[in-house]
Structure 1
Amino acid sequence: MSMIIQAQQTSEPRTYVDRILEHWHTDEDAEALVQGTQRLTRGEARRRLFGLGHALRRQGLEPGDGVGLFLANRVDSVLVQLAVHLIGCRVVFLPPEPGPGELAALVEQSRARAVVTDPLFARRAADAAGRSVHAPVLLSLGPCEQPCTDLLAVAAECPAVRPEGVPAPGADEAVTVLYTGGTLGRPKLAAHSHRLYNVLVDLIDDAPQDPDFTGFFPTMDPGTDRVLVSTLLTHGSGHLTSLQALVTGSALVVLPEFEAGAALSVLREERITATMFVPPMLYALLDHPECVPGALPALRRIVVGGAASSPSRLQQTVEVFGPVLSQGYGQSEALGIAAFGAEDLASEGPRRPELWRSCGRAISGTEIEIRAEGSTAALPVRQVGEVCVRGEAVMLGYYEDPERTAEALHDGWLRTGDMGYLDAEGYLYLVDRAKDIIVTGSTSDNVYSRVLEDFLLTLPGVRNAAALGIPDDEFGEAVQIFLATAEDADVDPNAVGAAVTAELGDLYTPRKTVLLDRLPTTKVGKVDKKALRAAWTSTAPGTP
């Protein structure tokens, strides 16, 4: 934290927004934000940001108030999130995943005084706001059919100067709240203070000297780098990607919705140098017929994270794009945990093939321990247990939820719910989510879905794979797998089952194999195992 102390003593920027504005006050004609034909220079972005800050204040918002952001991927979504922090309010990200009941509960529990919605989501936003006893003000980024205030129209009439009189946030004040899922009426909201942003800015600054940690933050060249954000801006992955670009003064290009062909076109036409994908996005890109070596000569870094990645697919990425691949591991409760730089993966991968299954080592200032259930003692090297982490990037707790905060945090250590192990050099290997472990067999042994899925992705014709447990009268659970196969592939389920048994043993043998054109994904781009379980566990078309 030495950099932050020094910054305060020398009147350097106090927040990451100040850091962004430093860039936007220089070289004003340089490109800052891009979405299709919409292209904002640094000067235009700065003035629009200030206008949005004043427009939010005109709605009666004061420092410390919560502002729900129910937004699509667009340039103005980036700016309104910055504007909320600029005036000292709390950002509450509202991703489009929850159903109506949980979305309403999320708005209520977060105590949002206002909800800013994309016009596309206005009906759902109005329903959620209307159910809240706090009666939040409903604002939209543009005109919409619902009765709400057009924030962009108000901002256009506001002064293009920075709002004054914003107090510095408290050390333990929640400034950003991320949705992490939950149950109807009781969502989980991971709350973070400005310490998170201080840590992330430190990591960005340290990246050139510390290549181990460039998995999350590649070394950037503000003069030439162009960063594509393709995951949701209201999700931790999209938030980190946009932060990486803006804090370094790089141009940020926003992809409204992911589709492999459209993503390839934007990557090529906008000369993107760095981007981040969740695994299903990366796999779809690799499977596109135009994705060939040399197709994206400007691309220097792809960060993959957000879910478990297949080693074979990661190797394919390097074969197609070269040594550009970095990995990052985090979650809403701790946005930065471990990372693996492209340089290390390129140099060590051929010598140590097991590293393709690793998600790297702890980022600076973060500790990782592997613990058995109910224990506070660290397990030995290579023994599987729950991944526990401690550091400045860990959340304050679940907002307005002391009970679940106490379950997740103990003496500053976060129980991640991920199962994994550490090797002797501190590399972390994930084997499953605790809730995704399949307990089966006559001795009730653990089947790690990550291990099974990694193997399935090495089989010819398999583009994506998911494994889950289905109820079984004899063994409690049985293994069921779902395979997304290539269009012209002739995948034999019996041969797949035999290959699994031969490689992983009888315990991993699937009871049922379902062949699909594609696997369902969440709005964040991860494989949606809940949807698979709901649709296929009772009856499923396909093969036995």
Structure 2
Amino acid sequence: MYLTQALHRAAQQTPDLPATIAGDRVRTWAESIDRVARLAAGLRDLGCGPGDRVAMLSLNSDRYHEYLFAVPWADGVLAPVNVRWSAAEIAFSLRDAGVRILLVDETFAGLLPALRAETPDLRRVVWCGDGPAPEGTVAHEVLVAGHEPVEDARRGGDAPAGIWYTGGTTGTPKGVVLSHTNLLASALGSLASGALATPGGRLLHAAPMFHLADGAAWVARNVVGGTHVIVPSFTPGGVAEAIARHGVTDLLLVPTMIQMLVDPPETADADLSSVRRLTYGASPISEAVLQRAAKRMPTAEFVQAYGMTELSPVATLLLPEDHATDRLRRSAGRAAPHAEVRIVDAEDREVPRGTVGEIAVRGPHVMLGYWNRPDETAAAVRDGWMHTGDGGWMDPEGYVFVVDRLKDMIVTGGENVYSAEVENALAGHPAVAACAVIGVPDDEWGERVHAVVVRAPGSDPDPAELRDHVKGLIAGYKAPRSVEFVEVLPLSGAGKVLKRELRAQHWAGTDRDVS
């Protein structure tokens, strides 16, 4: 199996179908394939050899789509860059992966001097913006126009397809090495559920294309065929306009994006009727947001995907029919067709159903390993099982309920509190637009359950009112003892709340590691 196989099939079956729509620029599959083969020739000419890493630092675009195909076509290895990182973090990932060719757009051109200074092995920079190429770079379009197409290297199987770096929210980022088999096994297994993609449909790329969640949706769309509709980044108005203008059928959004799409007045009149499937993940979604989204997109089926980069990335799926049951909507679904899932204790023994332990996953989608980190790879993958670091439990029917990252568990007065449970209860209050729950120091309780809340527009809730609301839904000791109001929550590139940043201000000067 190899990622570029989809291009050869599209050339035979749907050459005149639009492959990419980016603004007013539409390219068919035949045009896209020709450009990929020419770009691959250009990358080879710049020194991309077998297994060489090629990075891209850019907002979403049709050129990102071409990069994702052209690098394996040239026999190279992808190294997408997190666009939300600082120059120092980006330089670390480029050095760590040994990147020698970097593609960059106008949004990040200002970082080039610092990146060149901090990445001595970086040899060539390809300009993938729309304006004139800066000095010392070669334009993406020049590479395409100036080279004849080359044959596909058909890099595939267990060969590395790419290195995706973890978000850096827990210290130094780690490069997750995934093979072609890893990525395609996850895509094919997820598609086998019958709920992930509309055949021949139109997928909107609003989540960042550097992140594997969007990358996995890209792979799945290529497998089933259809069209990629691409916006530079997520904005509620931009996404609503793209859906209405281009008849988008499939969406991949994190819960924070869903809330931002369905709640603002400026998107209230947008026509979202073309949406048939909405896949969400990265963090739990509240019942309230899910209900509002279903009301705004009544023709859409909802699918929750749970997983992580190390799992290429899907482990479990909560299918549309599962969303009809209140109890199951609180779960992350059951093992996807390609995955085996179990809950284990500290000695890797499977625990009884209903008992909280660590979620472990096995299958052909488990990563090759962490780049140049054999000890950390061995600690995470034991006997073929990827140990996720997530706490959860499984019911008798195999549904997995994720309670929290194990390191995020709050111990207050000797009781274990999982923040996801508190957040789900709190988010049901109409005055709460978004929230995060963390543990903070407390002289009496050791740790105190603390809520950080973004108010809904026009609301000014009282902390006591919010506490009472939570106590009406879950045990009283789990209710926030303190509440902090903020304008926005800090988010990672994947749309996850950066709880490390929220905790740091409370734990500064203590001896606890809040990373």
The answer to whether TM tops 0.5 is yes
Give the partner amino acid of 2:247.
Answer: R
Match for residue 246 of structure 1?
222
Give the partner amino acid of 1:337.
Answer: A
SS of 1:101's partner is helix
Match for residue 318 of structure 2?
340
**1:37-52 maps to which residues of 2 (within 5 A)?**
37-52=24-39
Cα distance in structure 2, aligned partners of 1:367 and 1:272 = 32
Match for residue 70 of structure 2?
83
Query: Does residue 407 of structure 2 align to residue 435 of structure 1?
Result: yes
1:486–1:517: 8 Å Cα contact kept in structure 2?
no
Aligned to 2:3, which of 11, 16, 25?
16
Give the partner amino acid of 2:303.
Answer: S
Offset from partner CA, 1:90-120 (integer Å, 9 cap, x none): 1112112333333222111112222222232
1:314–1:356: 8 Å Cα contact kept in structure 2?
no
Quick check: 149-158 or 187-196, which moved more? 149-158
2:3–2:156: 8 Å Cα contact kept in structure 1?
no
**1:499-510 maps to which residues of 2 (within 5 A)?**
499-510=469-480
Cα distance in structure 1, aligned partners of 2:150 and 2:277 = 34
Cα distance in structure 2, aligned partners of 1:167 and 1:366 = 26
- CA gap of 1:496–1:198, structure 2 versus 1, over 3 A, is closer
Aligned to 1:415, which of 387, 393, 401?
387
Cα distance in structure 1, aligned partners of 2:448 and 2:206 = 36
Query: Does residue 15 of structure 2 align to residue 28 of structure 1?
Result: yes
Aligned to 1:68, which of 55, 59, 70?
55
- CA gap of 1:39–1:537, structure 2 versus 1, over 3 A, is farther
Cα distance in structure 1, aligned partners of 2:359 and 2:116 = 37
Give the partner amino acid of 2:362.
Answer: R
Match for residue 365 of structure 1?
338
The alignment yields a C-alpha RMSD, in angstroms, of 2.3
SS of 1:463's partner is strand
- CA gap of 1:345–1:293, structure 2 versus 1, over 3 A, is farther
Cα distance in structure 1, aligned partners of 2:344 and 2:115 = 39
Cα distance in structure 2, aligned partners of 1:452 and 1:55 = 52
Cα distance, 1:508 vs. partner? 1.9
Match for residue 533 of structure 1?
503
Cα distance, 1:481 vs. partner? 0.7
2:183–2:216: 8 Å Cα contact kept in structure 1?
no
SS of 1:138's partner is strand
Runs of at least 5 residues in structure 2 that lack an aligned partner in the other structure: 510-515
1:482–1:514: 8 Å Cα contact kept in structure 2?
yes
**1:216-235 maps to which residues of 2 (within 5 A)?**
217-218=196-197, 220-222=198-200, 225-235=201-211
Count of aligned pairs between the two proteins: 505
2:73–2:155: 8 Å Cα contact kept in structure 1?
no
Cα distance in structure 2, aligned partners of 1:365 and 1:29 = 33
Match for residue 97 of structure 1?
84
2:57–2:102: 8 Å Cα contact kept in structure 1?
yes
2:127–2:134: 8 Å Cα contact kept in structure 1?
no
- CA gap of 1:184–1:427, structure 2 versus 1, over 3 A, is closer
1:369–1:378: 8 Å Cα contact kept in structure 2?
yes
Cα distance, 1:472 vs. partner? 2.5
Cα distance in structure 2, aligned partners of 1:183 and 1:490 = 31
Offset from partner CA, 1:287-327 (integer Å, 9 cap, x none): 12365699322111100112222133223322332251111
**1:99-138 maps to which residues of 2 (within 5 A)?**
99-138=86-125
- CA gap of 1:126–1:191, structure 2 versus 1, over 3 A, is farther
SS of 2:174's partner is strand
Cα distance, 1:260 vs. partner? 1.0
Match for residue 56 of structure 1?
43
**1:379-458 maps to which residues of 2 (within 5 A)?**
379-441=351-413, 443=414, 445-458=415-428
Give the partner amino acid of 1:199.
Answer: A
Cα distance in structure 1, aligned partners of 2:380 and 2:170 = 20
Cα distance in structure 2, aligned partners of 1:526 and 1:369 = 24
2:17–2:226: 8 Å Cα contact kept in structure 1?
no
Give the partner amino acid of 1:457.
Answer: A
**1:311-326 maps to which residues of 2 (within 5 A)?**
311-322=287-298, 324-326=301-303
SS of 2:100's partner is strand
Cα distance in structure 1, aligned partners of 2:247 and 2:154 = 40
1:431–1:449: 8 Å Cα contact kept in structure 2?
yes
TM-score by length of 1: 0.87
Match for residue 180 of structure 1?
166
Quick check: 287-296 or 173-182, which moved more? 287-296
2:77–2:161: 8 Å Cα contact kept in structure 1?
yes
1:55–1:154: 8 Å Cα contact kept in structure 2?
yes
SS of 1:387's partner is strand
**1:515-526 maps to which residues of 2 (within 5 A)?**
515-526=485-496
Cα distance, 1:146 vs. partner? 5.5
Runs of at least 5 residues in structure 1 that lack an aligned partner in the other structure: 1-13, 540-544
Give the partner amino acid of 1:151.
Answer: H
Cα distance, 1:24 vs. partner? 3.6
2:440–2:506: 8 Å Cα contact kept in structure 1?
no
Cα distance in structure 1, aligned partners of 2:114 and 2:108 = 10
Query: Does residue 189 of structure 2 align to residue 163 of structure 1?
Result: no
Match for residue 8 of structure 1?
none
Query: Does residue 246 of structure 2 align to residue 259 of structure 1?
Result: no
TM-score by length of 2: 0.92
Cα distance, 1:51 vs. partner? 1.4
Cα distance in structure 1, aligned partners of 2:71 and 2:28 = 21
2:391–2:404: 8 Å Cα contact kept in structure 1?
yes
Match for residue 152 of structure 1?
141
- CA gap of 1:416–1:136, structure 2 versus 1, over 3 A, is farther
SS of 1:16's partner is coil
Cα distance, 1:376 vs. partner? 1.1
